[in-house]
């Protein structure tokens, strides 16, 4: 296998400032502080040009690198400031005061709007809780994500990547999927082509994705999907299908 110094971000938590990236078949922890103050937050799918790989208490990690194609704050072009004549200072001071007043007014309206909205439309606990991308595991959550975005959530990897992650973590050769990938690797398996050899589904270019892991292995539950929110669910490993409606 060709060794590369480029890693691809597969999970990212903006609130906590860290995530995970894969390179050379290994899943690495990466903190935003290791990326040289990028001018925007990292995103799933970004490429990291790695300067140094390392190993921490919790496993492999990226010690330093840069987001490919994203300038750092130090390299952002600076604006040239020209000294203004002293006679214009009163105008500048007036503009500063005006900006502060407008900001206070906007903040007041925003607060009032939020209070009114919360009092008129009580939300359930499920609505108030944002689902983290790494927690897309159930049939309905994953299917809706596919329908809205056209691709799987970022916590999914295909079978080949899952095998590489397993063998890198355990040091063992994967003989069969007799383990739960979510518990063992922190990912779900999906994205491989579904051939529809038995012709149980209409003709189409399908892919498959595991859902609802509850056992000590991958279980029999799958989504089979194509473009245009064309998504089917099977609970018995492709013996029967139910089309999901949105």
Q: Which residues are catalytic?
A: 208, 237
Residue with tokens 């050769």: 173
Residue carrying the six token digits 């400031």: 81
- Secondary structure in 3-state letters for 34-67: HHCCECCCCCCCCEEEEEEEEEECCEEEEEEEEE
Show the tokens assigned to 236: 């018995």
Query: What are the phi and psi torsion angles at 34 (to 5°)?
Result: -85, 0
Cβ neighbours of residue 36 closer than 8 Å, sequence gap 6 or more: 64, 65, 66, 72, 74
> For residues 203 and 195, what is the distance between their CA atoms, to the nearest angstrom?
10
Coil, strand or helix: which one is 196? coil
- For 26, the token pair is 């290994």
Nearest-5° Cα angle at 188, 26 to 239: 135
């Amino acid at each position: 296998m060709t060794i590369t110094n480029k890693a691809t971000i597969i999970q990212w938590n903006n609130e906590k400032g860290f995530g995970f990236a894969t390179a050379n078949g290994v899943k690495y922890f990466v903190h935003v502080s290791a990326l040289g103050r990028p001018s925007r937050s990292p995103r799933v799918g970004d490429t990291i040009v790695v300067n140094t790989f390392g190993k921490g208490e919790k496993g492999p990690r990226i010690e330093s690198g840069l987001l490919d194609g994203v300038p750092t704050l130090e390299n952002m072009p600076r604006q040239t400031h020209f000294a203004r004549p002293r006679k214009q200072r009163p105008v500048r001071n007036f503009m500063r005061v005006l900006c502060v007043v407008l900001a206070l007014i906007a903040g007041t309206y925003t607060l009032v709007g939020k209070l009114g909205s919360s009092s008129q439309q009580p939300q359930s606990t499920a609505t108030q809780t944002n689902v983290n991308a790494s927690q897309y595991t159930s049939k309905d959550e994953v299917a809706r994500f596919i329908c809205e975005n056209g691709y799987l959530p970022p916590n999914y990897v295909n079978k080949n990547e899952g095998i590489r992650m397993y063998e890198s973590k355990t040091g063992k050769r994967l003989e069969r999927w007799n383990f739960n990938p979510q518990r063992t690797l922190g990912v779900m398996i999906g994205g491989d082509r579904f051939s529809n050899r038995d012709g149980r589904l209409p003709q189409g270019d399908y892919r498959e994705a595991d859902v609802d892991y509850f056992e000590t292995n991958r279980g029999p539950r799958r989504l089979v999907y194509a473009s245009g929110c064309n998504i089917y669910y099977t609970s018995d490993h492709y013996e029967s299908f139910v089309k999901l409606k949105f």
